[in-house]
Amino acid sequence: MNQVHQFVKFFCFCILIIASASIPLSASSSAPEKRLVKKIELLIHHQPTVITPDDFISAGIKDINRTTIRAVLNTLEKRGKNYKDLYFGYDTTKSYCYDFNHSSASAIPIEILHGHAKLHASHIVPGATLFLKLRLKSHRLGRYFLPTVEVSTGKKKVVHTFENALNGIRYLNVSALDFRGNTPISFKGHLLDVPDQNATLYSFKPFSFENKKILIVAPHPDDAEIAAFGLYSTHPKQSYIVTITAGEAGSDEIYPDLIDDEAKAH
């Protein structure tokens, strides 16, 4: 169902582009059009992924016509966006860049051939956090449906979902896999290729929280629970949580009706 939903959204965006191909871009804009562009800039700023008709309505843009389409395209052009950026806010064809070389992690080379690799358990500290650095490349269908890769060791496996049209280095959290003995590792891509390569497994030794204080900084309410409940619930007496906002920083320009309803409720 998610794949069908992704395809429908992409198809609608293509129709938007085709419908606007013959629209001339005027050098000057009227005052109403400038106000429209301002609303669309706010909309794209707060909704940087997929924009739906409901989002236009929530932003106070009730008439989706050629002027609206032109304003959207002008705004996207100024921000240098393409269809991949419209979904994710960045270019999915570029590699992720994390520098683990200056950390406490041990770098373990792994050779991947024909979707398989081997790793000896003596290289892994029990309880370690493991990140696998490898190169992936999306199939053509992966431009329209979200590609995934399954990594398995014996009966344990992890599945990672990636962005449309990905191409380059990605980092997979494989801490949940079983690396006992001379462990065979299997890679199974769906709508992506795992090419033969020399990959790197970064192993972080488990950190001891014994007699240490834990500070969790959460940007919004419930972020601490989503990200770190397992940590602080097992160390309740030594954990402290700082929540930066109470949700009051939301904009009333994007969802004015919702803000008004909440205000009336109080």
How far apart are alpha carbons 33 and 40 in whole angstroms? 10
Q: How many helices (H) and strands (E) does the chain have?
A: 7, 11
What CATH class has 106-204? mainly beta
The length of the chain in residues reads 266
Query: Rounded to whole angstroms, what are the CA distances from 89 to 53, 76, 209?
Result: 19, 11, 36
pLDDT of residue 14: 58
pLDDT of residue 92: 86
How far apart are alpha carbons 171 and 97 in whole angstroms? 9
How far apart are alpha carbons 210 and 200 in whole angstroms? 30
pLDDT of residue 56: 64
pLDDT of residue 167: 93
Query: For residue 76, which of 67, 85, 65, 64 has the smallest C-alpha distance?
Result: 85
Residue stretches of the chain with pLDDT short of 70: 1-89, 121, 249-266
pLDDT of residue 59: 66
Name the residue with tokens 């590609």. 147
pLDDT digits (tens, 9 = 90+) for 98-139: 988 888 888 999 999 999 998 876 778 888 889 999 999 999
How far apart are alpha carbons 134 and 98 in whole angstroms? 12
Domain extents in the chain:
2-88, 106-204, 214-265
Q: What angle do CA 127, 128, 132 make, to 5 degrees?
A: 135
pTM over 0.75: no
pLDDT of residue 262: 52
